[in-house]
Amino acid sequence: MKTNKENLFICKAIWTSVLLTRYISYLAKDFHITLKILAFYEPKKSHIFYSMRFFSRYQELYYLVLIFSRERFFITINGKFSIMRTKGGACLKKLVIFDFDGTIIDTESYWYKAYRDVIQKQYNFDLPLAMFSRCIGTTDSVLFEYLESEISESMNRQKINQDVDEFFLDISKDITVRKGVENLLIKLTEAGCILAIASSSKREWIRQYLEAFQLSSYFSLIKGKEDVLDVKPDPALYLAVLEELEIKPEEALVIEDSINGSTAALRAGIDCIVVTNPVTEHMAFDSSIPTYSCFTEMTLNCCFEKA
């Protein structure tokens, strides 16, 4: 059952749509342009979607999509320009920064299996998923400190990492880009967004996968662990991207998969969306961060609702 507040919102949005339609219809008629209109209401999100497509005699000229909600509206023109207006005014997201491991490709599940099996074999210790999750998005020092305290002995970290790397290569041959990622990259690019990657991994590691999956062309900038003194949850990686691209924090959005990553984004003053994977889905993320279990749950406007 709709509340009075919701009914008032619907009435305002419909009335605005009617006025807008009448005004644009007059303009379209003067220029001999045909106007086709579609509007519908989505109750779950209390949004009204309103699209206008303009046709000349033989072809579609351009289309305009408006999404009304209680406090904001989202506009896209031909999918090339996106803006959302809120109570505080207009805010254009010029830049979307992706984490890499666990976000674009789900390496985290493979790394967990590799570490768990190597440590089990060498030290007869079962590595809990919750503990492994603490080092996702940052360095492995947190993990080794925990392991050494549990088994009460110093570990040969270099040897363990070498064995883990070899095991990872054996089991990760079928690794793929997460479902829905490339579709989102295409839509964001069409919307005119600059795309970048900020990762606690090395740049060469990131590049080899981007090239293998033919994703390199989407990204204007890649920042890795060698570019900063401190990795996530320190905000340095995200701040480095903003500085090089000369973009303000409020003009950017981060897509992450872990608490360390989302913490880094928030510390940099950037809005964040989390898309979890099987290793991070149990994490207790900040309640202010929109969280999804997969990219196929998202639509393009999800990336602008934090504006």
Residues labelled as active-site residues: 99, 101
Give the SS3 label for residue 109: helix
| 8 Å CB contact between 283 and 167 | no
Distance CA 146, CA 150 (A): 6
Q: Which residue has the tokens 């994977």?
A: 277
Q: Give the containing element (helix H, strand E) for 121.
A: helix 107-123
Q: Give the containing element (helix H, strand E) for 132.
A: helix 129-133
Which tokens is 189 given? Answer: 């690019």
Rounded to 5 degrees, what are φ and ψ at 209?
-75, -40
List the one residue out of 301, 306, 302 whose CA is nearest residue 66.
Answer: 301
List the one residue out of 137, 131, 128 whose CA is nearest residue 99.
Answer: 137
Which tokens is 288 given? Answer: 């202010």
| 8 Å CB contact between 279 and 112 | yes
Q: Which residue has the tokens 């207006």?
A: 85
List the one residue out of 181, 222, 234, 224 whose CA is nearest residue 201.
Answer: 224
Distance CA 196, CA 216 (A): 10
